[in-house]
Amino acid sequence: MAAQIIPSFPPNNVESPNTTSLTYPIISLQQPSKKKGSSKPSKLFKRFRSIFRSFPIISPTCKIPVSLHGNRQYDSHIHGGTRMTGTLFGYRKARVNLDIQENSRCLPILVLELAITTGKLLQEMGSGLVRIALECKKRPSEKIKILDEPIWTLFCNGRKSGYGLKREPTDEDLMVMQTLKPVSTGAGVISTEASENSDGELRYMRAYFERVVNSRDSETYYMMNPDGNSGPELSIFFVRVG
């Protein structure tokens, strides 16, 4: 698959502006670091902070806190999280993929295929704030990290929109990440060889996300706005419910 980056607008903070075309590039992404857990006082602080920030106001329809569906209490910038690189990409009429990396130079730590088309998600983002909530059932007998859950129920701005499926990165996923390695933040199009299942233009949006671990059953990724606006346009919530 030949690829050429054609940004819809100049990406912010591009490390290498001369990158224009890559054909089957060698994958040079690094393994993410295995960071040790934070100290006990830091964990206690985060726990108390999450309790006060997410006081339980439960929606009767889908068991997810109302704040996940547009309450402004989540719109301010959250301090104390871990900065990650998040990329949404896919063909306009195909399902959108979510890729989370420690940074743009690392292999992905999470790849999710979401049952919403790229075009539909871009339409939602064009209309204002977007909240993606991914919910799965809590299984007390199984000790599994929340990001290792294989399948999720997907809600987009409070509307049930199918599912989210975790999968291993494909060769195409890795090629996309390698192609976008010089891009820190930005949005645009990667022109590819057209196939029967695509329109030949793979759209992407890359941004920094702040990862906040509220508990072992709740984790949130807030998109960080580089222009310093009032709050994130996109927030992604992972929630396990009993």
Q: How confident is the model at residue 139, as a pLDDT?
A: 85
Local structure of residue 102 (DSSP, 8 states): S
Give the chain's domain count.
Answer: 1
Whether 112 maps to a domain, the answer reads yes
> pTM (2 decimals)?
0.71
The domain of 175 spans 82-240
Whether 195 maps to a domain, the answer reads yes
The region of weakest confidence among 79-83, 167-171, 224-228 is 224-228
Q: Which helix (H) or strand (E) holds 82?
A: strand 82-91
Whether 208 maps to a domain, the answer reads yes
Please state the rounded mean pLDDT for residues 78-98: 88
Structure tokens at 191: 């022109």
Evaluate if residue 50 carries a pLDDT over 60.
no
Whether 26 maps to a domain, the answer reads no
Q: Output the DSSP codes for 165-233.
A: EE-PPPHHHHHHHHHTTTEEEEEEEEE----TT--SEEEEEEEEEEEEEEETTEEEEEEPPTT--SS-S
- The candidate with the shortest Cα–Cα distance to 209, out of 98, 115, 135, is 98
Whether 77 maps to a domain, the answer reads no
Q: Which residue has the higher pLDDT, 22 or 198?
A: 198
What is the band of 15 on the pLDDT scale with cuts at 50, 70, 90? very low
For residue range 132-159, list pLDDT tens digits in order.
999 999 988 778 999 999 999 999 999 9
Whether 137 maps to a domain, the answer reads yes
- Buried b / exposed e across 13-47, counting CB within 10 Å, b at 16+? ebeeeebeebeeeeeebeebeeeeeeeeeeeeebe
Q: How confident is the model at residue 71, as a pLDDT?
A: 40
CA 220 to chain CA centroid, Å, is: 10
